[in-house]
Structure 1
Amino acid sequence: MKLNGHDNITIVTQSPDLSPEAIDVVVTLPTFKRPDHLLKTLASLKAQVTSRSFAIIVMENEAEKREGATVAAPLFEAGEYRGLVIIAHNRGNCNAYNAGWLTALAIFPNFKSLVVIDDDEVADPHWLENLCKTRELYGVDFVGGPQIPMFAKPEHQVWASHPVFSPHYDTTGRVPIIYSSGNLLVGRNVLEAMPFPFLDLTFNFMGGGDSDFISRSVVKGFTIAWCAEAAVYETVPARRVEADWIRARALRNGVISSLIEKRKRSNEPFGKLKTILKSLALLAVSPVRAVIKTAQTGSLSIGVYQIYIGLGRVLAEFGYSNEQYRQPEKN
């Protein structure tokens, strides 16, 4: 069944006991070619310690084989999980998120918070409750939490402090910005105020659509907190500690940083020029920053990361974009 008015979204199934009006929190879970880990993620949601009424939307983004939907649908039909399984037919990270968030608004009329977890993550049992409590405590519109890397090979755990993997904050409280939707709470009020598509398709295969969405929301006055106690544990395959993957991710992060800043400054006098000058300045000082970071951490990779960020920002001015999600088998 197609979602009303949206041919690119198919509802595969929903749980038999679903009462949409009673749902207070919607958990959206995008999946792409990870059926085995999807089951682990779902199991961690089933183990949540909370009295809040929540439903799950699984967004299958592989519209041909549908491996995730195939393993998840019978569990929802049997009532093991409450919610829906949908197909987001248009490929790409942003399309999957947009489909899930739009479905949440269409199906659940009274939810207050929408929460995001990815299909390579496992939630702490108190994850959902801590995200919601933090929103209530600080009266904010977004809450982010740490994605703790769990490396496939134990010897790779030394990479946990690398900026590609380490959380941006250490303590709970209000923060100016967060950068990822891999562990995120979004208020319904944000979704109702922001234009659709929520995540800009410019970032569909690059990543960063979440950072851009949050940045645009902050410009409109929405506020953010961080919850250090709302952890998810992200499975990191061995591929992601190889030098070429780290380099590609760092360059990509630089590109995303430049694109987002350019948008923020779009209405400023000489905004584009200011962004270019900042990018050039960051690249110019990056060798010094690299030496300092290498000395502080003893890691050449952490040091060189500073140079790649600056280089990525400058390359963005020439139209460079590293679409790491275009070839998921290499990601």
Structure 2
Amino acid sequence: MSNGQDISIHFQCELENRADIDLVVVVPIFSDPDHLVKTLKTIVSQRPDVPLATLVVENGGERPTGADAAKAFFLNHPSDSAVIICRRRGRCQALNAGLSQALERYPNLQAIAVIGDDEVAAPEWLDGLMAVQEAYRADIVGGPQLPVFKHPQELRWKRHPVFAPPYDASGPVPMLYSASNVLVTRAVLEGMPQPFLDPAMDIVGGCAVDLFHRCKAAGFSFAWAADAWVTQSVPEHHATAAWVRATSLRRGTVSAYLARRSDPTLAGRLKRLGTSLALMTTSLPRGVKLWAKTGLAFAALYYFHVARGRVTAEVGLIGRGDRKPGQ
């Protein structure tokens, strides 16, 4: 079974009527199929007060190893579930496929939660997200992604802003930054145009931040659920200064692209370049404070790297005119 969007159904299991499903968990596959099984175990062990379904999205290579692993899991753990294959490669494409297919398959769903295949959910993960959503009437709720490192010497990185959660306490927040460990209500899914995430943002990263900025402009609200945590396995090459620096630079680049959308004129770009240069001049004093707070010397360069990413992107955008990222 397939449609015109290069999406096919690899497996499906229905215990409830699809129309009765209120909550869908979407799991895009990008990593090790063995870890995917760990993720799925923590999903089927959730006990929310509403009917739940799981939708797994394979976005790998020619062999659907992740989809096969998910199918085998659901055959041994029957639950309302589906495994789809999205042939359009990219994180944004996989997430778009998961969100759109969830809406199509479960017409009365009230919310979609997203978790990565490299993550493991807390026992009351979904309850935590839903409780905060109900308490604050938030349209989108996020929760912590707590890093799990392979070696003790890598634990120092958990204090760096690249890995540390952006907020400490539950409640309303101005913005969210990750497409994983997030709950999106039906109001957002109906109010935002499809495709929800811009595939062009896969070039620089930050497709989730782009979506959330557009959601905020449309009037949707955000909240943070501090107790709705997931743990995230960190590859060894991510626990390095080079990767952390590159990620910090990319955050600055994404910030520049998003700012450009609000004012794409040359005057607007020059103004943003001035702002970025000003941020660079204040980055080192701010970095020293961050060093003192985290006890991590490398964190002192975080704001500098973000500002440098902004400046580099602004200079590139001025020279590239109105072309989209990657063109």
Q: Same fold (TM over 0.5)?
A: yes
Aligned to 1:326: none
Note if contact 1:63-1:87 (Cα within 8 Å) is conserved in structure 2: no
Distance 1:33 1:158, change over 3 A: closer
Equivalent position to 2:280, from 272, 280, 283: 283
- Structure-2 residue corresponding to 1:126: 124
**Which residue matches 1:226?**
224
Pick aligned residue for 1:47 from 45, 48, 52: 45
User: 1:13–1:77: 8 Å Cα contact kept in structure 2?
Assistant: no
- Please name the residue that 1:113 is paired with: 111
Please give the TM-score of this superposition, normalised by the length of structure 2.
0.92
Contact 2:12 2:83 in 1 (8 A): yes
Specify which of 93, 104, 125 is matched with residue 102 of structure 2: 104
The residue matched to 1:204 in structure 2 has which SS? helix
Q: CA deviation at 1:130?
A: 1.1
Give deviations 1:229-278, integer Å, cap 9, x for gaps. 10001111221111111111111111111112222x23899543332222
One of 147, 159, 162 as aligned partner of 1:161: 159
Q: Please list the CA deviations of residues 162-215 of structure 1 after superposition, one character each: whole Å capped at 9, or x if unmatched.
A: 100000111111111111111101111111111111111122243210011011
Give the counterpart of 1:188 among 186, 189, 206: 186
Please tell me whether the aligned partners of residues 60 and 88 of structure 1 are also in contact (alpha carbons under 8 angstroms): yes
Which amino acid is 1:156 matched to? E
Q: Does 1:298 align with 2:295?
A: yes
Deviations 1:123-161 (CA, angstroms, capped at 9, x unpaired): 001000111111111111000101111111133222211
Alignment of 1:274 onto 2:256: no
Identity %: 41
Alignment equivalent of 1:317, drawn from 296, 311, 314: 314
Distance 1:205 1:59, change over 3 A: farther
Q: What is the count of residue pairs matched by the alignment? A: 318
* 2:201 maps to 1:203: yes
Q: Which residue of 1 is the match for residue 57 of structure 2?
A: 59
SS at match of 1:181: coil
Q: Identify which range, 74-83 or 53-62, moves more after superposition.
A: 74-83
Provide structure 2 residue ranges, at least 5 long, that are not aligned to the other structure.
Answer: 318-327
Name the CA distance, whole Å, in 1 between partners of 2:7 and 2:88. 8
RMSD: 2.0
Q: TM-score, normalised by structure 1?
A: 0.91
1:95 is aligned to: 93
Task: Give the Å deviation of 1:18.
Answer: 4.6
Equivalent-residue separation in structure 2 for 1:31 and 1:126 (angstroms): 22
Q: Is the 8 A contact 1:95 1:204 kept in 2?
A: no
What does residue range 241-256 of structure 1 map to in structure 2 within 5 Å?
Answer: 241-256=239-254
- How far the C-alpha of 1:7 sits from its partner, in A, is 3.5
Q: CA deviation at 1:87?
A: 0.6
Q: Which runs of 4+ in 1 moved over 6 A?
A: none
CA positional deviation for 1:71: 0.7
1:66, distance to aligned residue in structure 2 (A): 1.2
Aligned equivalents of 1:299 and 1:91: distance in 2?
37
> What's the CA shift string for 1:43-99, capped at 9, x where partnerless?
010111323211111000014121110111133345523211001111111000000
Task: Indicate the larger mover: 125-134 or 268-277.
Answer: 268-277
Counterpart secondary structure, 2:6: strand
What is the deviation of 1:115? 0.5
Deviation at 1:122, TM superposition (A): 0.2
Equivalent residue number for residue 2 of structure 2: 2
Distance in 1 (CA, whole Å) between partners of 2:84 and 2:316 is: 34
Alpha-carbon distance in 1 for matches of 2:152, 2:13: 38
Q: Any idea what SS the aligned residue of 1:96 has?
A: helix
For 2:173 and 2:293, how far apart are their aligned partners in 1?
25
Aligned letter for 2:288?
V
- Equivalents in 2 of 1:247, 1:108: separation in Å? 41
Question: Of residues 208, 213, 216 in structure 2, which corresponds to 1:215?
Answer: 213
Contact 1:17 1:79 in 2 (8 A): no
Q: Quick one: structure 1 residues 252 and 9, their matched pair in 2 at CA, closer, same or farther if it must change by over 3 Å?
A: same
User: Distance between the aligned counterparts of 1:32 and 1:146, measured in 2?
Assistant: 20
Q: Is the 8 A contact 1:93 1:207 kept in 2?
A: no
1:30 equivalent among 22, 28, 38? 28
Partner of 1:325: none
Q: 1:239 to 1:277 in 2, by over 3 A?
A: same
Q: How far apart are the structure 2 equivalents of 1:63 and 1:8?
A: 14
